[in-house]
A and B are shown apart, each in its own frame.
Chain A
Amino acid sequence: MALIHLTVVTPEGKHYDADAQRVMVRTTGGDVAILPHHIDYSASLATGEARITEADGAVRRAELSGGILHVASDEVQVITRQFAWKD
């Protein structure tokens, strides 16, 4: 199964660095889900929930605030100001 590689960083540290099936985040234009083989893409992030479907199918939720979402050849980067897991 195709996977994307997700990295979540804030200036205070790296919060996630692993493969995932799906990443859903809230952009300023609304919720966006990134699946494998997505076109290269950038969007500004709003404050809201992020849902990450990990490689084994487990879904993890987190809150994040501001920054950008950057997708380049199945590398998904969430560059944000604040990030906190909900679980």
Chain B
Amino acid sequence: MAGASMKDIKLRIRSVESTMQITKAMQLVASSKLRGARQRMEASRPYMKVARRAIWDIALHNTGAESNYVVPREVKHRCYIVIAGDRGLAGSYNANMFKRIEWDSRDASCCFIPIGRKAREYYARRGASIITEIERVEGLTLEKCGEIGQQVLDAYDAGEYEEIVLAYTSFVSVLNQKTKLKPLLPLDAHDAPERTNKQMLCEPDADTLLKEFLPQYLAGLIYSAACDSFASEQAARRVAMDSATKNAGEMIEDLSLRYNRARQSSITQELTEIVAGAEH
């Protein structure tokens, strides 16, 4: 009996060891990707800050299109651009995002633009209305973001939906990432500067300026959100894999202890048997 159990324990130790090797490797990969992702994320932040301010300045000087891009309307149709992960095993990174949208999207009929494999799979499985999809968050180019930006803007102008929301995960620190829902159009009122009576000169005119800049602004925003989300994904995975590796280590320790106990008891038993045999 003791022998069989010893063999079982040995097998389990070996299987946990190989799992630990995988989690350890994934943790290292995530750490190294995180470094690059953080740099890209930091680099894209100044653009956001400056562009958000500028677009509001122009929008507020523009009376013609103001109703469309600035004033919120009753939302019957909403479009979500969802940036989730390319892979799983990143703790609750993907699940948090889907849960948040699930809750947020109850009040309107919604369509989705999933970015990243996990998002694509999730919405395809649920049979949600998908406008267009992008396979990978990693290596998402500015051109691609521009295409999405133009596409949603055209549909928004055509009145297909009254609101466009960008769903992404914001990187706060390695241990803390927050899901964010950022209204793209109508423009987010949180970014609005105080209304002033200051004059501003626009060339050619505010309306044309806004029309020309909006697609680039949307592209920039989506790009920056993708950089942010990718860094968050790597951080979430690194933390998840770190704790998985630690757990595997503990498990191996525990199993080794049990293995040694089983070995000792089998030796003791054999000795008892020999001694008992010699006495007769």
Contacts and interface: CB of A to CB of B under 8 A. Distances in A.
B203 A12 contact: no
Interface string B167-208: 000000000000000000000000000000011111110101
Contacts of B57: 40, 42, 70, 72
Interface residues of B, number: 31
Main secondary structure of the interface of A (DSSP, over half): strand
B204 A81 contact: no
B84 to A, nearest CB: 21
B216 to A, nearest CB: 6
B209 A43 contact: yes
A81 B202 contact: no
Given A28-B204, A42-B200, A44-B203, A11 B58 contact: no
A25 B145 CA distance: 26
14 contacts: A9-B46, A9-B51, A11-B44, A14-B47, A28-B212, A39-B201, A40-B57, A42-B61, A43-B209, A44-B209, A44-B212, A67-B213, A70-B50, A77-B50
Interface of B: 40, 43-44, 46-47, 50-51, 53-54, 57-58, 61, 142, 145, 198-204, 206, 208-209, 212-213, 216, 219-220, 223-224
Interface of A: 7, 9-14, 17, 27-29, 39-44, 66-68, 70, 72, 77, 79, 81
